[in-house]
Amino acid sequence: MKTVKTISEVREQVRKWRSEGLTVGFVPTMGYLHEGHASLIDASHRDNDRTVVSVFVNPMQFSPDEDLESYPRDIEHDKELAEAHGCDVIFNPEPSEMYGKNFTSFVDMTVLTEELCGLSRPIHFRGVCTVVSKLFNIVKPDRAYFGKKDAQQLAVIRHMVEDLNMDIEIKGCPIVRENDGLAKSSRNTYLSTTERQSALILSRSLKRGQELIKSGVKDCREIVSEITSVIDSEPLARIDYVKIVDAETMQQIETLDRPALCAIAVYIGKTRLIDNFFTEDI
């Protein structure tokens, strides 16, 4: 496996593979890789002849008050994990390689970014859409792999690819969890031992929501209210949002009469965690 830092090196490598008739899968990440990321690399390795993983903590998707500086980084560990799962090239650019001095072009999206994380993090999806577009233009993959852990991001990327006619197949992969149910996340390292225990309230509350749905409840307000009260029972938890939205448009709905996404964002102490389920996956 190779690690490259420049756009021209990735391009050269991919061009070479293409000339040999090989297919290319791509897994964009911010690094500090865990088994959630590994599942995406596995999927790409299964579906494609070659796999590129990008490790880039994208400054553009963080607000000034967010955790850009403290975001965990460990490229040596990332290299080991990625290689063990069949990655062929890690693309690990510096911010200056991705954003030149005169950078003034952005990819933005309306509607799908108006709810959920788009409300709490107003510049986030502009940063995500811009960097993912750039990475797609650099790697030019056949397929790209995203986790359902970031469900709104997955919906936004799917929509962007359709709107902008990008010739890339987007694959959504299931959420990988710890044995006790906590969704794996690079940000879990911020949690103290006590907070780590409290963080279980996210997956527990969603499980309660799923039970209600399985028992036939279709009223979204009732489901949201039950999930909210489960989370509120945890003293260290502070809710950012609990919402049920249309699985494609990310707009709030009142009744479960179509495929939907139930998504939550909860602060455990200072750490903001997200989790969700799609009703079609219950």
Which residues of this chain interact with ligand AMP, rule CB under 6 A? 29-30, 36-37, 39-40, 146-147, 149-150, 173, 175-176, 183-186
Cα–Cα distance between 275 and 268 in angstroms, integer? Answer: 13
Residue holding tokens 């009744």? 255
Is residue 37 annotated as a catalytic residue, yes or no? yes
- With CB atoms as reference, the residue minimizing the distance to ligand AMP is 147
Can you count the helices (H) and strands (E) in the chain? Answer: 10, 9
Tokens of 76: 């040596």
Q: Which residue, 36 or 118, has its beta carbon nearer to ligand AMP?
A: 36
Cα–Cα distance between 58 and 99 in angstroms, integer? Answer: 10
- Alpha carbon distances (Å) from 223 to 118, 165, 230, 242, 279: 22, 37, 11, 10, 12
Q: How far is the CB of 210 from ligand AMP (least distance, A)?
A: 17
Q: How far is the CB of 173 from ligand AMP (least distance, A)?
A: 6
Q: Which residue, 174 or 257, has its beta carbon nearer to ligand AMP?
A: 174
Q: How far is the CB of 218 from ligand AMP (least distance, A)?
A: 28
Q: Which residue, 204 or 220, has its beta carbon nearer to ligand AMP?
A: 204
Q: Which amino acid is at 107?
A: V
Q: How many CA atoms lie within 13 A of 217 on its CB side?
A: 15
Helix (H, G, I), strand (E, B) or coil at 75: helix
Q: How far is the CB of 70 from ligand AMP (least distance, A)?
A: 14
Q: Which residue, 237 or 274, has its beta carbon nearer to ligand AMP?
A: 274
Q: Which residue, 125 or 146, has its beta carbon nearer to ligand AMP?
A: 146
Q: How far is the CB of 85 from ligand AMP (least distance, A)?
A: 12
Torsion sign across C-alpha atoms 219, 149, 196, 71: negative
Q: Would you say 162 and 144 are in contact if contact means Cβ atoms under 8 Å apart?
A: no
Instruction: Choose, from 34, 37, 45, 159, the residue flagged as catalytic.
Output: 37
Cα–Cα distance between 64 and 54 in angstroms, integer? Answer: 23
Active site residues: 37
